Chain A
Amino acid sequence: MKRGISVFALFLLISFNIMGKATLEDIKNLHLIHYQQIDLLEDPYQALVYYEKGDEVIELYNDKKLVFKKKISSVTDGFKKIDFKVMDESTTPYAIIQQQKGVHGEQVMIISLADGKELFHQTSAWPMEIIIDHKGVDVKVVDEKKKTSQKRWRP
């Protein structure tokens, strides 16, 4: 009966799927969203983002020492991206964190990796354009009436 063949084919398909993605499934079960380590100015920095009871938790480490921790709602404020950067006019590296904000908005935060202080914070009702270069960070934000404005951050 074809139903039997169907069951057989499904199990085979699922078996191969498990074989190919088990490591990723393991990571998923740990609720790990993002991990990154980078050496800047000869020192190691880490970013760790994980899911915990409805929140996404962002942690930044300076040579394994926790310097910044923030919880954001996983559904409407979810983590998007993190960049580490050293600017020309600074001896301190920064973390530039982008996240979702609201159903269709975005937010960017700039954190000093020396002490975990939040140096810049900007929300946008719609996706923002962001340019990170050796001088600093430039963002184009859009308000709810779709009006755009430029924001600039320099160290």
Chain B
Amino acid sequence: MNKRLFFVFLISASFFASFGLSSWAVDSEIYRAENSSFHLVGDSLSVKSVSNGETLQLGHDTYLRALYDDQNLGSWDVKVMIVDEDNIPISGDTYQTSRKYFNKSVAVKFSERLDVLDENGKDRKVPAGVRLVRVNDVFQGGWRYYAMVMVNDLGETIDWNGNPTKNPPVLKTSMGNYDSADLNSHLNEVISSLVSKKEVLEEEGTLLKVEPHCPGCEDQEEKSELILDTATRPIPRPEGLRAPNFWNEDTIPHQLVMDQRNSLKGKKGCESDRRKYEEELLDKTSWGHLSVDQRADKIYEVAKESFAAMKEVSSDRGGSNNYANSVNANYISPIITPELVTCIAFQETSGSLNPMMQNYTYCSNTKGMTSTAHGLGQMTRGTFKKMKNHPDSDQLPYTTKYSQSLRGRSVREAHQYLSTDPHLQLEVSLRLLNFEVKFAKWKNPNASNETLLKKAVTQYDHDNKSKYVKNVYDQCIPCMKKKSAKECYNETWD
């Protein structure tokens, strides 16, 4: 088909399809059930029948009606009915599920502040980025509104200070306000996605760049990437309340370190000033005041937790096709271990073992840094992007309890956001090592496990002539089988 005609066809088809869908949406009002709220399941959710105890695993895009009980908003469970897209029950059965997991699955967050009436009936604004769960959709009377509670990343109900509470404030907002914020957030997500796709095309060399382009010079890169009109660029995603976790401040550590760069770069003592500032940032976290030895043990602990979280959501056992296995992120190679990524983190950050660590080009007297590496895995944005946008499938799915916090973020944002949690840093490194081991297996099906692991370590670093492989593979990993992480770190790197 002539390409121009094809475009006309495509646009017309999209236009009529969208018109048709919008008409459908207007005509098809959902059923208004009293004392309940209507939800779409985001993350899969396990529910148990109240009548016969049968357990169901509800997949993404299942509709639910949650029954409202204002006396029990802090209880561990919530009662739900499985309904169709018009909120009509599919069966008469009622199910019970964990309120925490339910909240995690259905919570929404907006890219703009939301006007609400607070628990005392006073006007207040919910900060952008705070997760909200509707608990009652009220259609009766003169005011149609949603009653909502605020929740954290873990699905726990929280108060205005972000602290978990069993007695959360119930907020109200008009359906118009809520729907409007919902629409804007969706549009922002789409625009972010387009910006991200454009970055991928540029990365792959398939999109003409605005010259001059200086690789690694972030400031110039920012300018050369301005293709979308500023009016359509996404609204910056402000950070809302966070779970009391590793990092609790609104501005992420990576941004705070970068904000200091102009006053430090190119100056004598920059390296020590940078390290000092990174230590100050670490002191604000749950790792504050840990000695380097204690950090070594902590890194191993986090590696085990990140690895367990990955295994929990990656149940594929792999098949006979080594290539298909290599690009299947849900298949974790049996030879990948938390010890491997722990030793990689030791090698990458030896001396400080600080998850806030920037790379040495921070101090170069250049406008932008020539490397974007940071954190325990010293992961660069380029590698992160290559994994996320792998041509065959996403090698960095945000499916674990840690990486869910990266959802909806552009590659640039997500890469910077790694600084908020060592679990995220090690998960990304584990994902990369997992991919590399499986890829090596595809290239050399008969290779021993030792060869495959060495290949993965080599791929992480630049060549096999350096001490990298010797430190990580020959010394640290065997040591971790016999001794503590702290001892292995000291024996290999001190």
Contacts and interface: CB of A to CB of B under 8 A. Distances in A.
B435 A144 contact: no
Contact of A2 (B183, B194, B379): B183
A65 B377 CA distance: 42
A102 B461 contact: yes
Contact of B361 (A73, A74, A78, A127): A127
Interface stretch (A26-34, A37-45, A88-96, A110-118): A26-34
Contacts of B201: 21, 24, 28
A49 B203 CA distance: 13
Nearest to A23: B3
B204 interface: yes
B141 interface: no
B276 interface: no
B432 A15 contact: no
Given A27-B206, A104-B378, A125-B462, A15 B190 contact: no
B10 interface: yes
Interface string A105-137: 111000000000000000111110000000000
Contacts of B432: 75-76, 103
A123 B180 CA distance: 53
Nearest to B271: A146
Contacts of B256: none
A144 B15 contact: no
Interface in B1-47: 3, 7, 10-11, 14-15, 17-19, 21-26, 29
Interface residues of B, number: 68
Given A4-B23, A6-B182, A125-B462, A18 B205 contact: no
Interface string A1-13: 1111111111111
A77 B386 CA distance: 10
A2 B176 CA distance: 8
A33 B202 CA distance: 10
Contacts, number: 168
A7 B215 CA distance: 38
A101 B463 contact: yes
Nearest to A81: B215
Given A2-B179, A3-B25, A54-B439, A12 B18 contact: yes
A13 B25 contact: no
Contact of A103 (B176, B204, B377, B466): B377
A8 B29 contact: no
Contacts of A81: 215
A74 B389 CA distance: 11
B442 A103 contact: no
A86 B391 CA distance: 35
B186 A10 contact: yes
A73 B358 CA distance: 26
B459 A7 contact: no
Contacts of B326: 54
A114 to B, nearest CB: 26
A143 B216 CA distance: 18
A70 interface: no
Contact of B18 (A1, A7, A80): A7
B380 interface: yes
Interface in B437-461: 439, 442, 458-461
B378 A4 contact: no
Nearest to B327: A54
Interface of A: 1-15, 17-19, 21-22, 24, 27-28, 31-34, 49, 51, 53-54, 73-81, 100-107, 123-127, 142-144, 146
6 contacts: A11-B15, A18-B10, A53-B323, A54-B327, A75-B435, A125-B466
Closest 7 CB pairs of A and B: A11-B18, A4-B25, A105-B462, A2-B179, A15-B14, A8-B22, A102-B462
